[in-house]
């Protein structure tokens, strides 16, 4: 049984990573919606004040990155937004909690992985489709 070209494209490892990086944003945004005040307080304590404004900007950026990465829309830009989000998130955690690696202990391990995966997706998108509207790989 032959598979279609779009199916072959979907199962490429870089596309699977892209889609996972995107899908992870949806519960991330949801957690900010239901825990808005707590997240705003955390952002403010990291020096990202006013916290409510930064949470709102972050939710929009995360939603755009999530949609772009999940569906392969402007992949390079969505992946760069994702990388930037993870850098800022790691900065905030390091500022508030101090140097820590293990994610379950409040460290930046998960953020570093997600940010690096997003940077690799962006690099791949630029390398393989240098045009302005590069989407699916």
**Residue ranges of the domains in the chain?**
14-128
For residue 4, pLDDT beyond 60: no
Closest to 135 measured CA to CA, from 77, 87, 86: 77
CA angle 123-124-128, nearest 5°? 120
pLDDT in tens, 73-110: 999 999 999 999 999 999 999 999 999 998 888 899 99
| Cα atoms found within 13 Å of the Cα of residue 130, Cβ hemisphere only | 1
For residue 10, pLDDT beyond 60: yes
Cβ atoms 122, 76 nearer than 8 A: yes
| Cβ-proximal residues to 29 (8 Å cutoff; 6+ apart), any chain | 59, 62, 63, 66
């Amino acid at each position: 049984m032959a598979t279609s070209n779009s199916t072959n494209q979907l199962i490429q490892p870089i596309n699977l990573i892209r889609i996972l990086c995107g899908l992870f944003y949806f519960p991330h945004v949801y957690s900010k919606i239901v825990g808005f005040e707590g997240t705003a307080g955390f952002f403010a304590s990291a020096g990202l004040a006013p916290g409510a404004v930064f949470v709102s900007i972050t939710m929009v950026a995360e939603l755009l990155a999530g949609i772009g990465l999940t569906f392969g829309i402007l992949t390079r830009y969505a992946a760069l937004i994702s990388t930037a989000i993870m850098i800022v998130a790691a900065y905030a955690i390091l500022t508030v909690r101090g140097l820590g690696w293990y994610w379950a202990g409040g460290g930046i391990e998960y953020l570093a992985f997600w940010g690096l995966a997003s940077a690799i997706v962006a690099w791949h998108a630029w390398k393989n489709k240098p045009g302005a509207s590069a989407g699916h790989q």
